[in-house]
Chains A and B, each alone.
Chain A
Amino acid sequence: MKIKLPLTEETVRELRAGDEVTLYGVLYVARDAAHKRMADALDQGKPLPFNITGQTIYYMAPSPARPGQVVGAAGPTTSSRMDRYTSRLLSEGLKGMIGKGSRSQDVKKAIIKYGAIYLGVVGGTGALISKNIVSAEVVAYEDLGPEAILRLEVADFTATVINDIYGGDFYEQGQRAYRKAR
């Protein structure tokens, strides 16, 4: 299924755990340190460094681009480290998340409550993924180096729906199908 970013509520409603999607459009990149700063900003009543409403965050920190390259390797990092910040960002309007690995129960509940989606991409394939990134620019927290917030434009970017708004969890479904007694 082809999906245009930013996501719409209608698209989120259509998606089910296990669906393979290809993404086109704009998303933002943020991981540990940027999440902490965004949470601190909200605590202090300050605005987030970009308008998060309807946006998608990719948990990632690329390797530096060589001259002439858009970006270096650009695969996902483990999403669960962002769990403690996620419900808050969802309540601020975040609609999509891209990463790897399972989320906490709290995040799964918040995904349902706020009508969001969590997508997984294949970790350790950063060179391959870099080919689907059309542009990359720093939008905030440049001093964090690799952990700065980036705005990316992606095309034909493959991902799999992990958690949907109906409580579906692709990791649980997939693993249940192949699990044998110990």
Chain B
Amino acid sequence: MRDIDAKTITQTVSRLFQEANFTLSDDVLSALKQALQDEESPAGRKVITSILENASIASKDRIPLCQDCGTAVVFLELGQDIHIVGGDLHTAVNDGVRQAYEESYFRKSIVQRPFSARTNTGDNTPAIIHTEIVPGEKLKMIVMPKGGGAENMSRLAMLTPAQGRQEIIEFVVNSVDVAGSNPCPPLIIGVGIGGTAEKTMLLAKQALLRRVGEPNPDAETSALEKDLLKKVNNLGIGPMGYGGRITALAVHVKTFPAHIAGLPVAVNMQCHCARHHEAIL
């Protein structure tokens, strides 16, 4: 049994959200630099140049990369031999979000009473917290400020087993086509396949956490990702929808066993401002 102080969790969450909103990670930056090389469209290249310039200004001047500092999504992998002291886990996480968004002048984008008053909660809480209990005595925390424009383009399809691989491809490619310039391409496209309706949506979001350029360990899934990326980039949407070859930097697929009756598929889109940072306590 290992004790972790709730205050340490709060401080870590706060630090991670600050890093994520000011700094694009090196994998995303490399993918964007590669995209600048590969993009044929002059308008598309201009867009990517602006994106890279923005990243450099944001980290240098401590201005958020994007005014949409996101819904605060937090993934926790909590070792079962950890005992949290001095407070409760979810309060500690929300305190960290509040601290980061207030201290660093991030935009607070969360409203309560979503279908009526839509009053801003004023501190960007509550966070969306996904907690998994795992063996061991470590706590892994991944924070993801998730922008609303790309999140709005998410889709879920409850396909049938007979529809299979081909219709998964059609669904994903069609989702990207319909979204067009809305989710701020070049995108990272998260795809969940299998599980149940809510499980596959979560898989699609978790798929976004993989580093861009890191191969999928499963050969069959990796081949599907390559097919999807090619077809998505054949759409010609291009950076910011101005036309071009690079509509997506990557497609990441995560799978889970499914019921004999079903083949759920989910798409969760990540704009080029792909922000997620992690720490292990």
Chain A residues within an 8 Å CB radius of B120: 144-147
- A61 partner, pick from B67, B105, B122, beta carbons under 8 A: B67
Interface residues of A in 106-154 (CB under 8 A from B): 120, 122-128, 130-131, 144-147
B272 within 8 A of A: yes
Q: Which B residue sits closest to A100, measured CB to CB?
A: B181
The contact sample of 23 A-B pairs, CB cut-off 8 A, is: A60-B67, A63-B106, A64-B106, A66-B105, A73-B69, A74-B67, A78-B149, A78-B182, A100-B184, A122-B50, A123-B66, A123-B240, A124-B65, A124-B271, A124-B273, A126-B67, A145-B108, A146-B120, A171-B181, A171-B242, A173-B243, A175-B235, A178-B236
Interface residues of B in 33-75 (CB under 8 A from A): 40-41, 43, 47, 50-51, 53-54, 57-58, 61-69
A122 touches B243 (CB 8 A): no
A55 within 8 A of B: no
Q: Which B residue sits closest to A129, measured CB to CB?
A: B54
A46 within 8 A of B: no
A128 touches B273 (CB 8 A): no
Chain B residues within an 8 Å CB radius of A173: 243
| Shortest Cβ-Cβ A-B pairs, 9 listed | A174-B243, A178-B236, A179-B236, A73-B67, A125-B54, A127-B63, A123-B184, A124-B273, A63-B107
Smallest distance from the beta carbon of A99 to chain B beta carbons, Å?
10
Alpha-carbon gap, A157 to B198, bound state (A) = 42
A180 touches B236 (CB 8 A): yes
B195 within 8 A of A: no
Alpha-carbon gap, A6 to B106, bound state (A) = 30
Most buried by A among B63, B152, B173, B182: B63
Residues of B within 8 A of A (CB): 40-41, 43, 47, 50-51, 53-54, 57-58, 61-69, 105-109, 118, 120, 122, 147-149, 152, 173, 180-182, 184, 231, 234-238, 240-245, 271-273
A182 touches B173 (CB 8 A): yes
Interface bin, chain A? 35 or more
Chain A residues within an 8 Å CB radius of B149: 77-78, 100-101, 123
Alpha-carbon gap, A176 to B118, bound state (A) = 39
A100 touches B242 (CB 8 A): no
Chain A residues within an 8 Å CB radius of B69: 63, 73
A179 touches B242 (CB 8 A): no
